[in-house]
Amino acid sequence: MVKQRQIREQIIRCVFFLTALTSILVLFMIMVFLFAEGLPIFKKLSAYRFLFGHEWYPTASPPDFGIFPLLAASVAVTLLSALISVPLGIMTAFYLAEVAPVRFREIAKPVVELLAALPSVVIGFFGMVVVAPFLQDTFNLATGLNLFNASLMLAFMSVPTICSISEDAIHSVPMDLKEASLALGATHWETVFRVIFPASLSGISTAVILGMSRAIGETMVVLMVAGGAGMVPTSIFDPVRPMPSSIAAEMAEAPFRGDHYHALFAIGIVLFLFTLFFNLIADYVAQKHKQVGAATL
């Protein structure tokens, strides 16, 4: 009986190991393919010219492959969407976890998680058909397809992720900490801001960074509502063209294994490095605050 249990546990352990190994191998092969197809462009131009060139005209003669306007657009859209989504997501999480009645929370939490499952094309269609005319008429703009519209839609996509993960982090705070704070005479809101928030900061920080990484890598929304202008934005109402939309719009037209093709894969490398950077920051912040919280306890 004991031997059968050991064999069963060994089989389960092997299944989990193979599953994890498969995920790692798939990610590794994607990374190898991405770098193999993107690095050849740097035989034709320097990395500095590629990253900081202000002209993106792949069909010109000779072609220009400067992605700085695309890079600036991606960073601007991500930061503006974070300014909108982070306060909304975190405040919604605290409301659901600490303020909302239980019955309302049981209804609202699944609705918020359902919003995270909305297809990006639906959100892009909403931004193009509803939000764009509203912005154009309200602010007297030449077009409602601009950086602000794209940021609103990306914030709409990021809020459910930030809210859901943050609420889970808040609920994971030991109840003993909250009860001890209240027993010492602190009010409910003093407990929330001085005890629960610092204790859950690890999970909240991870939620914020994951929401931002989703925003910078989103393709369909920015392709539909950002305006598609390859220029460095000087206003939040300027039309822009972030990096993912350039890849989606031009990959089908790029000659196979040509310079344009390799340049688009090089943009993919830049996006990969951005998301890797965000995930490393999320892991570092989570580990740092986890250690600080453990030391405090």
| Cα distances (angstroms) measured from residue 105 to each of 33, 42, 94, 95, 96 | 45, 53, 11, 9, 6
Please state, rounded to an integer, the average pLDDT across all residues of the chain. 87
Scored b (16 or more CB within 10 A) or e, 259-283 reads bbbbbbbbbbbbbbebbeebeebbe
CA–CA dist 209, 59 (Å, integer): 36
pLDDT score recorded for residue 85: 92
Contacting residues for 183 by C-beta, under 8 A, at least 6 apart: none
pLDDT score recorded for residue 29: 94
**pLDDT tens profile 241-279:** 999 988 988 888 888 888 999 999 999 999 999 888 877
**pLDDT tens profile 57-108:** 888 888 889 999 999 999 999 999 999 999 999 999 999 888 888 888 888 8
Would you state the structure tokens that stand for residue 203, as one six-digit string?
Answer: 């999970």
pLDDT score recorded for residue 1: 64
Is it the case that residue 215 has pLDDT exceeding 60?
Answer: yes
pLDDT score recorded for residue 76: 93
User: Residue 54: phi, psi to the nearest 5?
Assistant: -100, 5
CA–CA dist 269, 41 (Å, integer): 12
pLDDT score recorded for residue 134: 93
Is it the case that residue 18 has pLDDT exceeding 60?
Answer: yes
pLDDT score recorded for residue 290: 61
Is it the case that residue 291 has pLDDT exceeding 60?
Answer: no
pLDDT score recorded for residue 241: 92
- How many C-beta neighbours within 10 Å does residue 124 have? 23
Is it the case that residue 178 has pLDDT exceeding 80?
Answer: yes
